[in-house]
Chains A and B, each alone.
Chain A
């Protein structure tokens, strides 16, 4: 009986020590650390720490690193928005919609998770190839892989230089701009690999479209 009591007391003492350790480390790692990092980040890297927002025409038009949509108000027969031919189009997105907390309509991230041999994915790719080729009036074989596949985040801000170049004719026509000017714009916004070998070459769609709206306004 006594030994049982003492073992219960010992366990209680140990749990108490564990709790105090957790609370102390919560103060250090869960309060002081994030506050300190936030303080330094807000002072030294204010723009990045707050989402790299870009402005155009005097207002915020998005985050430089979060992909956004450039659609018409009109919808197709399935209720999906139609892409606006005046803008460069981003990669397909498989991110869902906010389903957990319906008081918000947050930008949600996510991927399709469809398998490499999935029939659904195969058909989706075939449909996308046709849509992109028709929309841009190019041969289906020219459509690059990033235009046919949904990104991991569903918010990919970039497209490949090949996909941007493929859209030049259509964008120039829709904005009544000379083709060379739009092609030059794409070339100016094409970023190579970082340090020459890190990541992949890419074009930031939002920045390209901002430059495009400036060009068509003049």
Chain B
């Protein structure tokens, strides 16, 4: 069997597996977020918080909950890293420097998991399991909570009530993420991922002597890293490391984990708004973009353009033999079209076009299918924009899911889509203009030390695109562990995560207060393929117009040279 055919079959198997769990998982999550009952462990947690999980919150209260919880998360994770030297089980690793600790704390709370540190050389057991892995759970649950709040905004009428943040947060963790993680972690261990609390220990080698290896609770962190679309690896090499991703099967399984919740949430959405076909239209838009990107990525990687790859006869630089080119391409598009950013192969060594696809995937705003929760609310914002564009074409007041899209709604949606481009392009421009930040670039023009070529510019653009969109993957050629990049990427991650949430929740509140508009013959049928097509078009045009100049300076210049 040719590697190309094997790649296509793996893609088909992945789609089959996702289709199999789509309905049960989507319906289960809908039931979780609409249930009136509280489980016993949940009640224990609510008592601890001092919150009444049955009370309803309006959007400002819901937002305050999100922000307070996340602020505490940043501070706690920052402190944990700063006192690492005094913690038990820290393996002798010392405190993380202030700028790197800020960057890492912001990164994990913002569901980005950009890593300017090298896991196996910096983080002990306590910071990894009780700090980083905990944010992998809760930042994902926060994203899902905000998405569910927006969906309630569509589903509810004549009320400003969006549910209870604490209940949504705790349920996401206890009923969705935890059970799936336990199962997934055991699958990974069975295939070879490590799960222990050993220190750094000597392992004998065949030719004699021994080498020092890390132990760690890797499988339990690996599974939530993918499932919660986080992406922060236990080891420097992330999911390319055999202890995180030991075989071709686990590789496919991890891609499945990345995609399963973001796709299934469209079913949850359809359930909660009482029209499953609305969910299918959103799913179709997500699926078309994801599949298109994956096909293009596989094509370019098998084609292995670029002088060095042509010389080698294949695109295997930065890729593992057990995965091969095809599965690595599927992983790359899945991780950059969600907010994951885990890598099983190194994007910086992909073909110029492949690297550009990874970049463009993030620039779409990570909505196809996007991060857990953030993908759904991002796509619904784009749906509002698409409905608005369609409304302009026919000269009608746009409406979506029985709600009028008036000037307040469209202003909030417009603010949402302006935030990340502003952060990405602003920070990239400043970094290129200032004197010292370009020193961090690895791939300068013709690999000479002077000046920075197209690939060097791509490294910086990639870093801020990854940060502001909460992806976390890197064109790791950039040495981002400097005060400048730690600080600015940290800010980009926090602003790129929480400012959009402000507008999403404000929008949810304003939608929930409306009374429903009756459907008429003139209503745009948003459950039809025509609308899904319009939505895909709107996404590609808006992203294209926003980022074309920057893409022309980086990956396109590289691809054409």
| Interfacial chain B residues near A63, Cβ < 8 Å | 203, 213, 242
Give the number of residues in B that approach A within 8 Å (Cβ atoms): 129
Once the chains bind, are B349 and A151 in contact (CB under 8 Å)?
no
Residue from B304, B320, B443 with most neighbouring chain A CB atoms (10 Å): B320
A103-124 vs B, CB cutoff 8 Å, 1 = contact: the mask equals 1111111111111111111101
Q: Which of B92, B207, B312 contacts A84 (CB 8 A)?
A: B207
Once the chains bind, are B196 and A38 in contact (CB under 8 Å)?
yes
| Interfacial chain A residues near B217, Cβ < 8 Å | 34, 37-38
Once the chains bind, are B121 and A106 in contact (CB under 8 Å)?
yes
Q: In B231-257, which residues have CB < 8 Å from any A CB?
A: 235-237, 240-243, 246-249, 251-252
Counting CB contacts under 8 A, is B550 at the interface? no
Q: In A31-81, which residues have CB < 8 Å from any B CB?
A: 31, 33-34, 36-38, 40-42, 44-45, 48-53, 56, 59-71
Whole-angstrom distance between the Cβ of B186 and the nearest chain A Cβ: 6
Once the chains bind, are B134 and A25 in contact (CB under 8 Å)?
yes
Once the chains bind, are A114 and B186 in contact (CB under 8 Å)?
no
Q: How large is the interface on A (under 10, 10 to 19, 20 to 34, 35 or more residues)?
A: 35 or more
Counting CB contacts under 8 A, is B108 at the interface? no
Once the chains bind, are B348 and A199 in contact (CB under 8 Å)?
no
Whole-angstrom distance between the Cβ of A5 and the nearest chain B Cβ: 17
Task: For the complex, give the distance between the alpha carbons of A149 and B318 in Å.
Answer: 7
| Interfacial chain A residues near B316, Cβ < 8 Å | 145-146, 148-149, 151
What number of A-B contacts does a CB cutoff of 8 Å give? 394
B31-69 vs A, CB cutoff 8 Å, 1 = contact: the mask equals 000000000010011001111000000000000110011
A138-163 vs B, CB cutoff 8 Å, 1 = contact: the mask equals 00000011101111111111111000
Once the chains bind, are B321 and A151 in contact (CB under 8 Å)?
yes
Whole-angstrom distance between the Cβ of A17 and the nearest chain B Cβ: 5
Counting CB contacts under 8 A, is B390 at the interface? no
Whole-angstrom distance between the Cβ of A129 and the nearest chain B Cβ: 8
Task: For the complex, give the distance between the alpha carbons of A145 and B324 in Å.
Answer: 11
Task: For the complex, give the distance between the alpha carbons of A11 and B65 in Å.
Answer: 10
Q: In A12-44, which residues have CB < 8 Å from any B CB?
A: 14-26, 28-31, 33-34, 36-38, 40-42, 44
**Stretch with Cβ within 8 A of A (4 or more), from B1-9, B373-381, B409-417, B517-525:** B1-9
Counting CB contacts under 8 A, is B352 at the interface? yes
Task: For the complex, give the distance between the alpha carbons of A129 and B314 in Å.
Answer: 13
Task: For the complex, give the distance between the alpha carbons of A155 and B194 in Å.
Answer: 15
| Interfacial chain A residues near B45, Cβ < 8 Å | 21, 24-25, 28
Once the chains bind, are A18 and B186 in contact (CB under 8 Å)?
no
Q: Please name the residue on chain B nearest to A60 by beta carbon.
A: B204
Task: For the complex, give the distance between the alpha carbons of A131 and B288 in Å.
Answer: 45
Q: Please name the residue on chain A nearest to B76 by beta carbon.
A: A22
Once the chains bind, are A107 and B308 in contact (CB under 8 Å)?
no
| Interfacial chain A residues near B241, Cβ < 8 Å | 109, 153, 155
Q: Please name the residue on chain B nearest to A110 by beta carbon.
A: B236
* Sample of 19 A–B contacts (CB below 8 Å): A14-B68, A28-B45, A31-B130, A37-B217, A41-B189, A48-B194, A50-B198, A98-B121, A100-B117, A111-B317, A113-B443, A145-B314, A145-B316, A151-B240, A152-B343, A156-B320, A194-B248, A198-B251, A198-B252
List the 7 shortest-distance A-B pairs measured between CB atoms, nearest first: A199-B248, A116-B306, A152-B240, A145-B314, A200-B324, A109-B237, A30-B130
A residues with CB within 8 A of B: 11, 14-26, 28-31, 33-34, 36-38, 40-42, 44-45, 48-53, 56, 59-71, 84, 87, 91, 95, 98-101, 103-122, 124-126, 129, 144-146, 148-160, 193-200, 202, 206, 209-210, 213
